[in-house]
Amino acid sequence: MNFKESLDNHLSSISARNLEEFSRTLVKDDRLTLIMPNSSVLNGYEAIVDFHKNWFSDPDWSIETTLLKTIESNASCIALLDVVYNDLDESGEPYQLNYILSLTFVFEGGSWLLTFDQNTMRS
């Protein structure tokens, strides 16, 4: 897969809540970092897969992404996306988050794998 196909596969696996496919899009070590919209940080493959396992089991959310920009090289690529996230709070009330998502992939073993995922809230 080329980078754009790999990016689409990564995003599709999230929308489909497909943990198995999502896990295949990640580097499998401690280089993997996720910065959440609230600024909390998760590090490492196991922690991030565990987080997504719990998140994917929640049926109430939906996510829409719009690709804003890519920066591509032979060894790494960055995708910048606009995100609209809809969910229900603990009381069952709907809420929406709007944020910028930056994804960094590295080319290893013939595949583009996610190494860095930063979510930044819009003001």
Domains of the chain: 3-121 (3.10.450.50)
pLDDT of residue 35: 98
Q: Structure pTM?
A: 0.95
The parts of the chain modelled with pLDDT lower than 70 are none
Taking CA atoms, 40 is separated from 35, 60, 73, 117, 120, in Å, by: 6, 22, 29, 12, 11
**Cα 87 vs. chain centroid, distance in angstroms?**
16
pLDDT of residue 74: 95
* Region at 68 (left for phi over 0; alpha for psi -120 to 50; beta for the rest): alpha
The token duo for 56 is: 């994917």
pLDDT of residue 57: 97
pLDDT of residue 123: 78
The token duo for 38 is: 């609230």
